[in-house]
Structures are given as C-alpha cells and as structure tokens.
Amino acid sequence: MHVCPLCNGLKVLQKNCQSCQQEMDDNGRLIDFFDDYSPYLEDEDAKLVDGYMNSKKEHICVHVFHCHSCHTEEKVEIKEQNWL
C-alpha cells in the first residue's frame, strides 16, 4: 500500500512561490476541488480522474499550493511512500 506523506501528516512541504518568493500553503489534494463529493472518493479511484495520466501507476498524489501574497496556485506532484 502507498500513502501520501502530506495527506497523512508524515511530512510537511515548505514551498516558495515562483512569482513572489513568499511561502505557499498546501491546500490539499487536487481531486478534492473537483466537486462536492470528490473528497469522499477512494484514493486509487480518484487518481483515475485527476488529469494526470500516470498518477496511479507511479503512486503520485497531486497537491494544490496557494500563495496568499500574489494568489498564484501551483500543482505539485508528491511521490507516495510504500507503507506496510
């Protein structure tokens, strides 16, 4: 089983905005923004509709980072960790 280290609180990613260099906030999984019910999808099923062709096969969780200073958003691919 693979888990996202950000979703599960195992790691915190500090990312600076490419536009203004201010620290960005992790707003969570990209799939959670699709509709009202998307946060309730199983992780592996959500990866089939996230818009990233290999996210399921390569164990990638896509997160949305937001800059409160200049309102830039960036999608970041997070490599999931093997969890046994």
Q: What is the pLDDT of residues 60-84, one digit of tens each?
A: 899 999 999 999 999 999 999 998 7
Please give the mean pLDDT across all residues of the chain: 84
Query: What pLDDT does residue 64 have?
Result: 95
Q: Which residues pair with 15 in a beta bridge?
A: 24
For residue 15, being part of any structural domain is answered with: yes
For residue 37, being part of any structural domain is answered with: yes
Q: In which domain, by residue range, is 52 found?
A: 2-79
For residue 84, being part of any structural domain is answered with: no
Quick check: 55 pLDDT over 80?
no
DSSP state of 5: T
Give the integer Cα–Cα distance in Å for 38 and 45.
Answer: 10
Nearest to 29 by CA among 20, 17, 68, 45: 45
Split into its structural domains, the chain has a count of 1
More confident of the two residues 36 and 65: 65
